[in-house]
């Protein structure tokens, strides 16, 4: 299941970036088993590669599966 949330441009991006940097310094770990949960930061359609998504994984593991 995929949940999408629209972020408005008035969001304080510096606050989100500071949280990401702080979490990186704390070396936080998430569970690796179970379905993946991630925040989508950017999504675009590349002509040669197809849909591309930049994510921050909250929990679980993302796998590159070709169908």
The residues facing 17 across adjacent strands are none
Structural domain contains residue 21: yes
Instruction: Specify the number of domains making up the chain.
Output: 1
Assess contact for 15 and 43: CB atoms under 8 A: no
Structural domain contains residue 32: yes
Which of the 8 DSSP states describes residue 34?
A: S
| Domain that includes residue 43, residue range | 13-59
Report how far apart, in Å, the C-alpha atoms of 11 and of each of 8, 44, 54 are.
Answer: 6, 21, 19
Over residues 3-59, the pLDDT tens digits come to: 565 655 555 667 777 777 777 777 766 677 777 888 888 889 999 988 888 888 888
Structural domain contains residue 2: no
Structural domain contains residue 27: yes
Please give the pLDDT value at position 63.
74
Q: What does pTM read for this prediction?
A: 0.44
Assess contact for 48 and 24: CB atoms under 8 A: no
What is the rounded distance in angstroms from the CA atom of residue 64 to the CA atom of residue 44? 17
């Amino acid at each position: 299941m995929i949940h999408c949330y629209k972020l408005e441009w008035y969001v304080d991006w510096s606050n989100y970036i500071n949280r990401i940097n702080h979490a990186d310094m704390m070396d936080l770990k998430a569970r690796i088993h179970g379905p993946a949960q991630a925040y989508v930061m950017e999504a675009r359609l590349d002509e040669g590669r197809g849909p591309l998504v930049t994510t921050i994984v909250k929990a679980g593991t993302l796998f590159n599966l070709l169908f």
